[in-house]
Copies of this chain bind each other. A is one copy, B any other.
Amino acid sequence: MVLEELLEQLKKIGIRLTPQRQEIMLVLVERFQEGGPPLSADEITRHVRMRYPGISLDTVYRTLATFTKEGLVRELQFRDHSRRFELVRKGEHHHHLVCLSCGNIKKIPYCPEDCLERTRECYPEFEIKDHSFNVYGYCPKCRED
């Protein structure tokens, strides 16, 4: 099961396996498995509180920062200024199509690898670590208005 793998990974990293962290990881894994859109810190907090009511927002933010630093989670920043988080799974890579009206998010299964490669050639002195590709538009529902 994915969750256990990840908890094992957390142990290896050498950070403490607290119940709060486990719950946050569980929420991220569930969202990944159902294929839904990335979650905001607030959404994650609300989900975690269903099963772990006392958790503080600060803990959620700190934990997400830790997970991101360890490469378990990817942090996303969209043009509407919303900040979202999603689980990183090895061998799986995608980008996002975002509705400018309702914020609805779809996965894009393509990746601009050629552009990335050309960027590396253009700036060989940069140590390139990551990239983001977002497409913005209006979803079918919002086009009607």
Query: Chain A residues in contact with chain B, CB under 8 A?
Result: 75, 77-79, 81, 83, 95, 97, 99-100, 106, 108-112, 114-116, 118-119, 122-123, 125-140, 143
Note all chain B residues with C-beta closer than 8 A to A109.
122
Note all chain B residues with C-beta closer than 8 A to A112.
112, 114-115, 133
Give 5 A-B pairs besides A126-B137, A130-B136 with Cβ atoms closer than 8 angstroms: A97-B128, A110-B119, A115-B115, A116-B135, A127-B143
> What's the Cα separation between A124 and B132 when bound, in Å?
22
> Is the beta-carbon distance between A131 and B131 smaller than 8 angstroms?
no
Note all chain B residues with C-beta closer than 8 A to A143.
125, 127
> Is the beta-carbon distance between A134 and B131 smaller than 8 angstroms?
yes
Note all chain B residues with C-beta closer than 8 A to A125.
139-140, 143
Which of A131, A138, A140, A143 lies at the interface centre, i.e. has the most chain B CB atoms within 10 A of its CB? A131
List 8 interface pairs A-B (beta carbons < 8 Å), by A numbering: A110-B115, A111-B115, A116-B135, A125-B139, A125-B143, A127-B143, A128-B135, A132-B133
> What's the Cα separation between A140 and B123 when bound, in Å?
10
Expressed in whole angstroms, the minimum distance between the Cβ of A85 and any Cβ of chain B is 12
Expressed in whole angstroms, the minimum distance between the Cβ of A138 and any Cβ of chain B is 4
Note all chain B residues with C-beta closer than 8 A to A79.
75, 77, 132
With A77-B78, A126-B138, A140-B126 already in contact, the answer to whether A133 and B110 are too (CB < 8 A) is no
